[in-house]
């Protein structure tokens, strides 16, 4: 009879081939957690550009400045025999204004020449005089060069060279 005796108790036969219920669901639960984390990360990163501050997100695109340098002027000033050598650069609104200015450059130079020869050295020697000269030059150049033409859009005029003798 000793040959027929099982070394294992009868209760262990019932549980030997089966896993506990929580061990069956563990891989599925881990997969669900990883999937939820991945989906959450995807939604977070997809939404991230929209969360920038509105001032930074709606920053206007600044157009590139358009500059046109004019050849230097050498003119006799009104008064005591002084002369002025000056050069200007114009800041224009768009490239089309450059081509219009090039087309009417003799008229533009004439307007500036007439303005410059009407000045004395004392009037334009200081900073306020130069600022007034720039304002007057802008008014002279913004007038249309021919009937029916739009005025040139000048944003600013810069004095790039200035010598009085």
* Average pLDDT across the chain, whole number: 83
More confident residue, 70 or 150: 70
pLDDT digit string, tens, across residues 50-79: 555 555 556 777 778 899 999 999 999 988
Cα–Cα distance measured from residue 79 to residue 82, given in angstroms and rounded to the nearest whole number: 7
- Write down the domain spans for the chain: 18-59, 66-164
- Give the architecture (CATH level 2) of 66-164: 2-Layer Sandwich (3.30)
CB 154, CB 92: distance < 8 Å:
yes
Q: What digits encode the pLDDT tens for the residues 10-52?
A: 555 555 667 677 677 777 788 888 888 888 887 777 775 555 5
| CA-angle at 159, arms to 154 and 165, nearest 5° | 145
């Amino acid at each position: 009879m000793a040959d027929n005796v099982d070394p294992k108790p009868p209760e262990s036969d019932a549980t030997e081939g089966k896993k506990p219920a929580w061990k069956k669901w563990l891989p599925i639960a881990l997969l669900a957690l990883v999937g939820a984390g991945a989906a959450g990360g995807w939604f977070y990163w997809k939404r991230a550009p929209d969360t920038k501050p509105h001032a930074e997100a709606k920053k206007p695109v600044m157009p590139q400045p358009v500059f046109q340098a004019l050849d230097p002027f050498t003119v006799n000033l009104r008064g005591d025999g002084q002369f002025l050598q000056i050069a200007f650069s114009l800041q224009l609104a768009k490239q089309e204004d450059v081509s219009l200015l090039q087309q009417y450059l003799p008229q533009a130079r004439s307007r500036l020449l007439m303005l410059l020869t009407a000045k004395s050295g004392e009037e334009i020697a200081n900073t306020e005089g130069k600022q007034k000269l720039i304002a007057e030059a802008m008014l002279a150049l913004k007038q249309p060069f021919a009937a029916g033409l739009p005025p040139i859009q000048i944003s600013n005029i810069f004095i790039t060279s200035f010598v009085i003798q």
